[in-house]
Structure 1
């Protein structure tokens, strides 16, 4: 599902959705990465999620450790509440994680093959919980099924809000200026026609990017046709276009499409992978993030 063309729609949906958390908005705005180099920043973020989903244990752990190091300096004060934020904060990391995995399922069901079987959906959320262990999330807080995901969104909704910087960030991601590359500007606008209809209407209204409800079915039909066409021949069209839009993510998708069966067809837990392949120098950083600054 993470390697399907619908994942591109879900990724734009997720990074837009993240801005409803004021602490994530502050981290994104203060670091300024999406404004300085949106294509590179988003490519690296998508590449991380892809590596966790389709990579081996060594690669996933090393990618997670790199992400932790990148996020470690991202601390500051959220201007609306006056509270301190940290990009590695467990609550913020859980919001990012659930926004991503929920968006992948939403786009896959809306534009891809359709709803999963009961067994596949159970497996999907079980894998979501495993992937969360690579971040600073508390495993006990990770939803394990669709009902728990709904309960999670209901629980966090009172602290969601839209600030001036959140609206700026969401609009920038949905309609990136041509000055950042015509291909990325065109791509973001085309994706927005599919990602916006997948979001709840209250979010669209709050984020000031609402489309007339009558347009939803008209936009979903061509998006579904394009996604299904792009999925043919092992995502050939998407892999060929990736070097111009998201080269790192494209390389991962290409390797995934052509890789041989694993030499050791066994699975290990994130804890075991971290012990085998992780850096001892990051163990303290991990522990500090788990018990450190709270939003």
Structure 2
């Protein structure tokens, strides 16, 4: 009973230092704080990402999504929440540490035979745009609907601002819906529905992998809910991507899932308590950040800044230039000495993103 009371209680959180990179008047806060984001939007992103042969090679090598899927989901969701909602010192720090984390993900893709590096600008752009596009797709399909033209321009401008935390050039971020569509069209010939990609996509579509072990009485209901989430996520994905991943493409089911899921998300969006209960269930590491946003806890300073300004203020190099010596050592260990890479980045990330175990 104590656990149930804890789940139902309304959590509190300490004020942030500032409003970070966007703030409550941004389109990012409007879209990313809607309950479609942490479920369908984020699930869509991590599923689609696996079609990139370089990314899925790194994922398959570590086996993290299979051995500790809940932890992996929790840490990744917290990272994106920090970028979107957290204060500027915290977001700048975690982005800097992420470069070290990604330095571990280097190797040779067994499918294409090419080397991969998670810090490669092209790989980073793929992850970034897939995430921001997926969050928006889920919001528009199962949430309040399409953004206005002005809001959409602002959303992609904010996406480019967040890109200052990545290793690629923020100028490479498209600023329109047509530009995003063109980017995915250009990526299409490079994507591969390999066996390891299909395995990863099917695994990540099982929403239950991101949940804690449920009480016996709740398991039948949990299976129904996760099946609906799977179907809803599929309904947001282009059919060519689904075919590449060996996934279902039923137009009837795509249409049928929209009314009940839209109604469910509308109900959830009307209750701060319910949203925080679900966030605690899905991503406990993200709960403090979500609590500040959903409960409107005012930061110490009601200002926003840009990642570049924060990097300069707090003494971090821009990501493309960060930790070059460390990254070169990681390459030498893997490609030159045939040894596993250092875990230093993972260790340093645990106070920021939560433990890896």
- So what's the TM-score if we normalise by structure 2? 0.75
Matched, 1:240 2:270: no
SS at match of 1:133: helix
Q: 2:233 aligns with which of 176, 192, 195?
A: 195
Deviations 1:223-261 (A, max 9, x none): 111111111133x21211333331012332112222433
What is the Cα deviation at residue 286 of structure 1? 6.2
Deviations 1:167-218 (A, max 9, x none): 0100111126779854497464332121100101111122112142111111
Deviations 1:127-166 (A, max 9, x none): 0000011011212211111111111111111101111100
SS at match of 1:264: coil
SS at match of 2:251: coil
Q: What's the counterpart of residue 214 of structure 1?
A: 252
CA RMSD of aligned residues (A): 2.6
Structure 1 window deviating more from structure 2 (73-82 vs 211-220): it is: 211-220
Matched, 1:257 2:278: no
Larger radius of gyration: 2
* Pair 34,265 (structure 1): closer, same or farther in 2 beyond 3 Å: same
* Pair 160,254 (structure 1): closer, same or farther in 2 beyond 3 Å: same
Q: What's the counterpart of residue 32 of structure 1?
A: 63
- Report if aligned partners of 1:133, 1:270 keep a CA contact under 8 Å in 2: yes
- Report if aligned partners of 1:173, 1:188 keep a CA contact under 8 Å in 2: no
Q: 2:309 aligns with which of 272, 285, 289?
A: 272
* Pair 127,176 (structure 1): closer, same or farther in 2 beyond 3 Å: closer
* Pair 205,231 (structure 1): closer, same or farther in 2 beyond 3 Å: same
- Report if aligned partners of 1:61, 1:278 keep a CA contact under 8 Å in 2: no
CA distance in 2, matches of 1:179, 1:119: 35
CA distance in 2, matches of 1:216, 1:201: 11
CA distance in 1, matches of 2:145, 2:120: 34
Q: Going by fraction, where is helix more abundant, 1 or 2?
A: 1
Matched, 1:148 2:179: yes
Q: What's the counterpart of residue 63 of structure 1?
A: 94
Q: Which runs of 5+ in 1 are unaligned?
A: none
Q: What's the counterpart of residue 228 of structure 1?
A: 266
Q: 1:131 aligns with which of 159, 162, 169?
A: 162
- So what's the TM-score if we normalise by structure 1? 0.90
- Report if aligned partners of 2:164, 2:318 keep a CA contact under 8 Å in 1: no
Structure 1 window deviating more from structure 2 (80-89 vs 185-194): it is: 185-194
- Report if aligned partners of 2:69, 2:209 keep a CA contact under 8 Å in 1: no
Q: Which runs of 5+ in 2 are unaligned?
A: 1-30, 332-357
